[in-house]
Amino acid sequence: MSALNLYDTATRQVGKFTPIKSGEVSIYVCGATVQASPHIGHIRSAINFDTLRRWLIKSGYNVTFIRNVTDIDDKILQKAAQEKTPWWALAMKYEREFTAAFDAVNVRPPTYEPRATGHITAMVELMQILIDNGSAYAPGNGDVYLEVRTVKRYLTLSGQRIDDLLPATDDDLATSKKRDPRDFALWKSAKPGEPSWPTPWGAGRPGWHLECSAMAHAYLGESFDIHGGGLDLIFPHHENEIAQSEAAGYGFAKRWLHNAWVTQSGEKMSKSLGNSLLVAVILQRVRGIELRWYLGSAHYRSMLEYSESALDESAIAFRRIESFLKRSAETLGKIPDSVVSDSFAAAMNDDLAVPAGLATISENLRLGNQGITDADTAAISKNASEIRGALEILGCDPFDSHFAGSARSDLTAAMDGVIKLALAERASARDRKDFAASDAIRDGLLALGITIEDTAQGPRWSIMEKS
RNA sequence: GGUCGGGUGGCCGAGAGGCGAGGCAAGGGACUGCAAAUCCCUCUACACGGGUUCAAAUCCCGUCCCGACCUCCA
């Protein structure tokens, strides 16, 4: 099998992936700030990194996957005040929504999912190191800032120069205790009524960036293999994580991966633009497995332009594949094995080139369907197995127990018996060329959501998917 | 202003010096009582203008257009 090559935002090049420790991969992904319901952009990010994780595991690595939850920040406090609910209740409510959304699209739970508020001690320790070595300062008002000009390398990920940055506008420079307007808050002093935790520099709460440095260090150590997140996190969030962590003497992330947006009319989906499509709403249109297929089918670094018709077409394409697999299982009398083909592996090893991988699935699908027509068991088995192997990596294996649903096999068997009675009636009508009667039976079943197809092996029924 | 992406056929979407990924749609055909499903065949491209090269969608220069980030963001 060829070796895995991955893009690195820091070098803007695809290069051979070599883990720090042979056979082990450590990943930190910036997860949700739980201040609103998840939209499909959030879920796309999670799917991209879940696919990476699955591929690493399939490639034989032992993967430690950390994805955090930011459960305290300005917006959470703001929204909690608006809704007159405790901030922690609001955060937990949305955290559960994110968990449910991840689950619906078969994103595996991370190895550990740390919350910011559970790691205050680690953050205070990190701030102490930074203050002791002169990288950070506490001006006495309860805030703690990182002094960016003391950092040896700053803005290496986004390729900017510190003097090119537009000066902060949201900061009241006249009253700010910052030494430089580009310095950023590690810790924010508590305003009256706000939650706070005690520190040697005053009571307050974490700045956004500090938590990730502290939690990555807590679970993955001073250096780890991959740090991921959305494109918009490159600056400031990831630059600031690097600044803090490197100033503390940590090696930090060896490679940076960033996923692109889901867009609408070319524009990024975001709550502030009011164009976000909530996962819960989309799931009324297509099944979770279909949403995953749609969101996971684009290359992770390419924008994915959302449209209803693209989603529908994608779902239909997926059902073709699914239908072939189910038919294969019927023909073979067992669920096909899961095999990763060389061509799919080569695609995945090339910076997770999922679209190239989909081309190999198309080829398998064509040959497999041919196999069904020709009753060529070997061809069916080979192609069904290779499709299943690919779908497993993409998190879209219809035989995955995650998607098996609640269909009870005894109910299915009973239904099969009932439908076969109807099909027997239809067969005898067809025998006496009473096509009006036979079509009435087929149409009647169709009205109930059951499709009948006549195959070389006789009629076959299936339940129609929604939409 | 700085930094970073992008513009490919009717649509979606890869590729990154040579032999036109793939899918959807469309047209034709096979199979079928009809349908559905499936298979086979066919068609249509690289924003624009220069340049480099035996050869450019791909490299270089310029232009136009779209988007992202610059302290809320997946």
Residue A323 (CA) to nucleotide B64 (C1'), in angstroms, measures 47
Residue A354 (CA) to nucleotide B57 (C1'), in angstroms, measures 21
Q: Is A394 helix (H, G, I), strand (E, B) or coil?
A: helix
Q: Which residue is nearest to nucleotide B4 (CA to C1')?
A: A158
Low-confidence winner among A20-24, A43-47, A419-423 (lowest mean pLDDT): A419-423
Give yes or no for residue A285 having a pLDDT over 70: yes
Query: What are the tens digits of pLDDT across the range A75-117?
Result: 999 999 999 999 999 999 999 999 999 999 999 999 999 999 9
Residue A423 (CA) to nucleotide B31 (C1'), in angstroms, measures 21
How does residue A293 score in pLDDT terms, banded at 50, 70 and 90? very high
pLDDT of residue A181: 86
Nucleotide nearest to A310 (CA to C1'): B12
Q: Say how many residues make up chain A.
A: 467
Q: What is the mean pLDDT of residues A38-44?
A: 95
Residues paired with residue A226 on neighbouring β-strands, in sequence order: A27, A255
Neighbours of A414 (CB within 10 A): 11
Q: What is the mean pLDDT of residues A405-426?
A: 83
Query: What are the tens digits of pLDDT across the range A433-466?
Result: 999 999 999 999 988 889 999 887 788 888 887 6
Residue A73 (CA) to nucleotide B71 (C1'), in angstroms, measures 14
More confident residue, A167 or A42: A42
pLDDT of residue A203: 94
Low-confidence winner among A54-68, A182-196, A260-274 (lowest mean pLDDT): A260-274
pLDDT of residue A467: 52
pLDDT of residue A216: 97
For residue A152, the 8-state DSSP code is S
Q: Which residue is nearest to nucleotide B39 (CA to C1')?
A: A370
Nearest to A398 by CA among A333, A459, A465, A460: A465
Residue A9 (CA) to nucleotide B25 (C1'), in angstroms, measures 37
pLDDT of residue A455: 82
pLDDT of residue A405: 64
Task: Please name the residue that has the structure tokens 């078969």.
Answer: A106
Nucleotide nearest to A38 (CA to C1'): B74
Residues paired with residue A146 on neighbouring β-strands, in sequence order: A136, A184
pLDDT of residue A265: 80
Residue A266 (CA) to nucleotide B7 (C1'), in angstroms, measures 12
The ipTM assigned to this model is 0.94
How does residue A54 score in pLDDT terms, banded at 50, 70 and 90? very high
Exposed (0-12), middle (13-18) or buried (19+): which is A149, by Cβ within 10 Å?
Answer: exposed
Return positions of chain B under 7 A from a protein CB.
Answer: 1-5, 11-15, 21-24, 32-40, 66-74
Q: Is A77 helix (H, G, I), strand (E, B) or coil?
A: helix
pLDDT of residue A169: 56
Nucleotide nearest to A430 (CA to C1'): B33
Give yes or no for residue A173 having a pLDDT over 80: no
Q: What is the mean pLDDT of residues A348-375?
A: 95
pLDDT of residue A175: 64
pLDDT of residue A177: 81
Rounded Cα distance, A156 and A153, in Å: 7
Q: Which residue is nearest to nucleotide B22 (CA to C1')?
A: A359
Are the C-beta atoms of A327 and A384 separated by less than 8 Å? no
The tokens describing A96, both together, are 């559960």
pLDDT of residue A462: 87
pLDDT of residue A466: 61
Low-confidence winner among A159-163, A172-176, A349-353, A446-450 (lowest mean pLDDT): A172-176
Mean per-residue pLDDT of chain A:
92
Q: What is the mean pLDDT of residues A372-396?
A: 96
The tokens describing A195, both together, are 């939650």
Residue A25 (CA) to nucleotide B37 (C1'), in angstroms, measures 44
Nucleotide nearest to A161 (CA to C1'): B2
pLDDT of residue A273: 65
Give yes or no for residue A406 having a pLDDT over 60: no
Q: What is the mean pLDDT of residues A175-201?
A: 89
The tokens describing A457, both together, are 């092996």
Are the C-beta atoms of A385 and A341 separated by less than 8 Å? no
Domains (range + CATH), chain A:
18-268 (3.40.50.620), 307-394 (1.20.120.640), 409-463 (no CATH)
